[in-house]
Structure 1
């Protein structure tokens, strides 16, 4: 599905971004929000929203892509510093927990987001990057080699989501969620 608006036009691009931001806020409050509710939240008419996003699913998928790209941006300094293995995994928790306020909506809407090929492509690449970090940690003797990498990657992914839920529910702040995720993970896999 193509967006009807030319997102290369700066005004249309700003409008689209404002709608994505409003969508994230609306879905954070109510994962079942309709496009009408998102338009109201954004302070625009439904026609404006529909010029950018034809369906609720398309909006959710675009928000998911943006969320995953933001995770990439948060991870960029880790890769620029050439952190490897367990050091990079720990840093990943530290940069991913502070974005919980924008991205935990994905937890309840992932089934819709995951239907988009580009969303799956970005997410699979990110999981492969974590896979590489785990393998580096295993080779360095920082991570138990008798646990499958797939299991550890899934555990890391689940700990990120657990942290996001705990932050959303007000049980933890981002720093505490990061510390607990690191302690949980490495208390179970570190040699």
Structure 2
């Protein structure tokens, strides 16, 4: 009996995972995809989808939770204490953008169901790390802003959201959006545009080659 229960649980979890993976792909392709469409694409009956997610909103909310968890992991992986704050911020934005670009249409869709306040609440851990990084940069003189670090973190967050919307609306190409987001985040933190652009170019190159960046400061 225990083996049968374990087997049923495993199948249920496999179905849930498949539904989520298929739903993400289908919603990114068609933001208006229905639960029926998602069920057909996942190869399950509608009842199975509703057995895991009682509504379309609940399904989207779960996808947003997973997206935020992935973004938080990417952000944390690039935020290194003790290094140059400007480089750390650039790496963080570029790392987040590589993943955020996959979810940008989902974020736009989530605003219809989860609300921006709900998304902001989910991003609290990411924002907390960003505040710590920005504060370090302000304390060391790398960044300069009339805003305190917590308020500057909100600006940083909205830059990413705004550029995601710009890509969604066809105002910015996906190819240039990541670097643009990183440069804009740095300039918002008080780094001169020419230095920000040069640093992001070096960081982007180092990410592709695996080589460390020599920044030379932001004075």
Q: What is residue 27 of structure 1 aligned with on the other side?
A: 27
Q: What is residue 109 of structure 2 aligned with on the other side?
A: 108
Deviations 1:4-44 (A, max 9, x none): xx9x9333222211111122122223333321222123232
**Structure 1 residues 115 and 167, CA, compared in 2 at 3 Å: closer, same or farther?**
closer
Mean alpha-carbon deviation: is it higher for 44-53 or for 81-90? Answer: 81-90
Following TM superposition, by how much is the alpha carbon of 1:103 offset from its aligned partner in structure 2, in angstroms?
Answer: 4.3
Larger Rg computed on CA atoms: 2
Q: What is residue 57 of structure 1 aligned with on the other side?
A: 57
Mean alpha-carbon deviation: is it higher for 31-40 or for 45-54? Answer: 31-40
Q: What is residue 181 of structure 1 aligned with on the other side?
A: 181
Following TM superposition, by how much is the alpha carbon of 1:167 offset from its aligned partner in structure 2, in angstroms?
Answer: 4.8
Matches within 5 A, 1:61-140: 61-79=61-79, 81-82=80-81, 85-99=85-99, 100-114=101-115, 121-140=121-140
Mean alpha-carbon deviation: is it higher for 153-162 or for 13-22? Answer: 153-162
- Give the TM-score normalised by structure 1: 0.78
Paired residues, number: 182
CA–CA distance in structure 2, aligned partners of residues 104 and 57 of structure 1: 15
- Give the TM-score normalised by structure 2: 0.69
**Structure 1 residues 115 and 155, CA, compared in 2 at 3 Å: closer, same or farther?**
closer
Following TM superposition, by how much is the alpha carbon of 1:64 offset from its aligned partner in structure 2, in angstroms?
Answer: 0.8
Deviations 1:34-73 (A, max 9, x none): 2122212323210121121111111111111110111122
Structure 1 runs not aligned, ≥5 long: 1-5
Following TM superposition, by how much is the alpha carbon of 1:150 offset from its aligned partner in structure 2, in angstroms?
Answer: 4.1
Deviations 1:83-123 (A, max 9, x none): 56333221111111112123431123235235997x66532
CA–CA distance in structure 2, aligned partners of residues 185 and 151 of structure 1: 13
Aligned-CA RMSD value: 2.9
CA–CA distance in structure 2, aligned partners of residues 116 and 132 of structure 1: 22
Mean alpha-carbon deviation: is it higher for 133-142 or for 158-167? Answer: 158-167
